[in-house]
Amino acid sequence: MNSQVLHGRTALVTGGSKGIGRETARLLASMGAQVYICGRDRNALTAAEGSLRTAGRVHAHQCDVRDPEACMALIARIENEQGRLDVLVCNAGMSMRGTIEACTPEVMRIMADINYLGAAYMAHFACGLLKASRGSVIFVSTLASLHGLPGMGPYGASKAALRAFSQSLRSELASWGVHVGLVHVGFTENDHDKSVYRSDGSLATIDRRHHAQSQTQTASCIVSCILHRRREMVLTRLGAAADLIYRLFPKLSDALILRYTRRNTDMYRTAE
């Protein structure tokens, strides 16, 4: 990739202090963009800003995407400081583990607030700037949004909502030349302290994934989606194969998922 292909452009990556978001910000900055990252954890933001400094110009801003006023304030800050926004990567999100029966209504609400509404709020306030720049907005989804999986129903549902939202937004902004993309992320290495919600609302640290796509590889796919203005991407070979089976062989996919569930019942009990 051309190291200066995004020179003079401005990008915002939500959930940019950790994991995939941080590495996406790193790539965008290394390509010449002025990059804003946001997150809820002030310490993580400070650490990320420091680690990204060598890549290029990165600005950290504490923002909870669940708060529409905070989203509006961040977009206003970017407009005031840069006068433009060319790329919005809606990456902020949280996962959960536990059956729907055991999951509390509060956890269900948290999944919707962070994974769906947080992205919707930020895109809503960014529309004006993206129309002016004929820019790109990318929604980071997951393989769990392609077919409901056991033990993470509310999470998958909140991410699946992004597909319909992105399709509507794409139609509404097409005449303005705005690119709207959706990336379904597959198994990706996670930070050592990555946490998910249990069904009771408490947080649990999950094991680091091995034999998975690296965060840099996933970030490269997200940036590729931006540069090539792709509509939708399903990452990893396993993800592409699963998507094909889901669409062409629904009964087979249901049977395989049911078999997997029965073999991993103890895992879901532990999560609860």
Catalytic residue status for 155: yes
For the chain, domain boundaries: 10-271
| Angstrom distance (rounded) from CA 174 to CA 130 | 11
Instruction: Select which of 36, 116, 121, 155 is catalytic.
Output: 155
Those residues of the chain that have pLDDT short of 70 are 1-3, 208-211, 260-272
pTM above 0.75, yes or no: yes
Per residue in 58-100, pLDDT (tens digit) is 999 999 999 999 999 999 999 999 999 999 999 999 999 999 9
Please tell me the predicted confidence (pLDDT) of residue 2: 55
Using alpha carbons only, give the angle 58, 165, 224 rounded to the nearest 5 degrees. Answer: 45
The kind and range of the H/E element at 89 are strand 87-90
Exposure class string for 41-53: b at 16+ Cβ within 10 A, else e = eeebbeebbeebe
The backbone region for 244, taken as left when phi is positive above 0, alpha when psi lies in -120 to 50, beta otherwise, is: alpha
CATH classification number, 10-271, choose in 1.10.3080.10, 3.30.70.100, 3.30.1340.30, 3.40.50.720? 3.40.50.720
Q: Which residues contact 165 (CB under 8 A, 6 or more apart)?
A: 116, 119, 120, 123, 139
| Angstrom distance (rounded) from CA 23 to CA 21 | 5
Please tell me the predicted confidence (pLDDT) of residue 256: 75
Instruction: Count Cβ atoms within 10 A of the Cβ of residue 73 and give its class: 0-12 exposed, 13-18 middle, 19 or more buried.
Output: middle
